[in-house]
């Protein structure tokens, strides 16, 4: 995973609550066995509507997505964050995120920025009013600002997630540093626990 530090770019306003992962990428596109190439199917159904904001050329190349509460609810499909990232988004700002989606994003380096609804509303209005607005998300200082302006908004991020994102850490390697703990745990597991393999 590439380190995530500071993101600056056009912000796409998607003012909807409960955007679920079936909307982010419909199931019919989950048949691919690769991790890349899902960006072209992002918001596939909504994109068929010409007035949908993703079709607005003024937001081309957007790196930040701003949306409503409970973003990423529904299916656990990691194809949803893959599609967002493949399309070019590097951060999503919303009042709240679904749990599995949040974990999935942390693993792939898509930065989630939770802000109170009134602050999200300010950013949505700015992005809607002026598509050239350059939104800056800085992970180190946990702040969101607009280029050329002096105010900033602070957001929460899990300290461990922050550490991993800033350093681009692979969490399997981190876990394997606890190999001794894992083996010790395995040694004391009771043997009445189920096995998927029937041993003679």
Partner 1 sequence: MSDPKTLSEKIWDAHVVHSEAGQPDLLYVDLHLVHEVTSAQAFEALRMAGRKVRRPDLTIATADHNVPTADRDKPWPDPLSIQQVDVLDANVGQFDLTYFGVNDVRQGIVHVIGPEQGLTQPGLTIVCGDSHTATHGALGALAIGIGTSEVEHVLATQTLPQARPKTMAVEVNGELAQGVVAKDVILSIIRTIGVSGGIGHVIEYRGDTIRSLSMEGRMTVCNMSIEGGARAGLVAPDDKTFAYLEGRPFAPKGQDWERALDYWRSLPTDDAAKFDKTVSLRAEDIEPSVTWGTTPAQSVNVTGHVPDPDSFADPGARELGWRSLRYMDLQPNTAIEDISLDRVFIGSCTNSRIEDLRSAASVVRGYKVSPKVSAMVVPGSGLVKAQAEAEGLDQIFLEAGFEWRDAGCSMCLGMNPDFLLAGERCASTSNRNFEGRQGPGGRTHLVSPQMAAAAAINGHFVDIRGWRRN
Minimum distance, C-beta of residue 148 to partner 1, in the bound complex (Å): 31
Alpha helices for 1-78 (secondary structure H) = 21-24, 44-47
Burial grade of 71 (CB within 10 A; 0-12, 13-18, 19 or more): buried
The answer to whether 169 contacts partner 1 (rule: CB under 8 A) is: no
The answer to whether 76 contacts partner 1 (rule: CB under 8 A) is: yes
For the chain, report the end-to-end CA distance as a whole number of angstroms: 43
Tokens, residue 102: 């949040």
Contact 131, 66 (CB under 8 A): no
Minimum distance, C-beta of residue 67 to partner 1, in the bound complex (Å): 12
Minimum distance, C-beta of residue 65 to partner 1, in the bound complex (Å): 18
The answer to whether 172 contacts partner 1 (rule: CB under 8 A) is: yes
Which 3 state secondary structure label does DSSP give 32?
Answer: coil
Binding partner 1 by CB under 8 A: which of 54, 69, 119, 122?
69
Binding partner 1 by CB under 8 A: which of 3, 27, 116, 140?
27
Binding partner 1 by CB under 8 A: which of 6, 40, 58, 178?
178
Binding partner 1 by CB under 8 A: which of 8, 17, 54, 122?
17
Q: What distance separates the 2 farthest-apart alpha carbons in the chain?
A: 71
Minimum distance, C-beta of residue 173 to partner 1, in the bound complex (Å): 9
- Is 96 or 133 the residue whose CB approaches partner 1 more closely? 96
Site string for partner 1, 99-128 (x = CB under 8 A): xx--xx--xx--------------------
What b-and-e string marks burial along 150-175, b requiring 16 or more CB atoms within 10 Å of the CB? eeebebebeeebbebbeeeeeeeeee
CA distance 31 to 34: 9
Contact 160, 101 (CB under 8 A): no
The answer to whether 49 contacts partner 1 (rule: CB under 8 A) is: no
CA 6 to chain centre: 15
The binding site for partner 1 (CB under 8 A) comprises: 16-18, 20, 22-23, 26-28, 30-35, 44-45, 68-70, 73-79, 81, 96, 98-100, 103-104, 107-108, 158-160, 171-172, 174-176, 178, 181-182, 185-186, 189-197, 199
């Amino acid at each position: 995973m590439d380190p995530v530090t500071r993101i600056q770019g056009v912000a796409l306003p998607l003012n909807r609550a409960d955007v679920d992962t079936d909307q982010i990428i419909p199931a019919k596109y989950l048949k691919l066995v690769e991790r890349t190439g899902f960006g072209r199917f992002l918001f596939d159904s909504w994109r068929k509507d010409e007035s949908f904001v993703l079709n607005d050329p003024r937001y081309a190349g957007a790196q930040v997505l701003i949306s409503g509460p409970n973003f990423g609810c529904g299916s656990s499909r990691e194809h949803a964050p893959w599609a967002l990232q493949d399309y070019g988004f590097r951060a999503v700002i919303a009042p709240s995120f679904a749990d599995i989606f949040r974990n999935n994003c942390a693993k792939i380096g898509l930065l989630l920025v939770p802000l109170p609804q009134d602050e999200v509303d300010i950013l949505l209005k700015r992005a809607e009013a002026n598509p050239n607005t350059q939104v800056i998300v800085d992970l180190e200082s946990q702040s969101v600002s607009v280029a050329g302006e002096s105010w900033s908004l602070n957001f929460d991020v899990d300290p461990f997630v922050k550490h991993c994102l800033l350093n681009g850490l692979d969490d399997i390697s981190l876990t394997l540093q606890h190999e001794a703990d894992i083996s010790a745990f395995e040694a004391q597991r009771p043997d009445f626990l189920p096995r998927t393999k029937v041993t003679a």
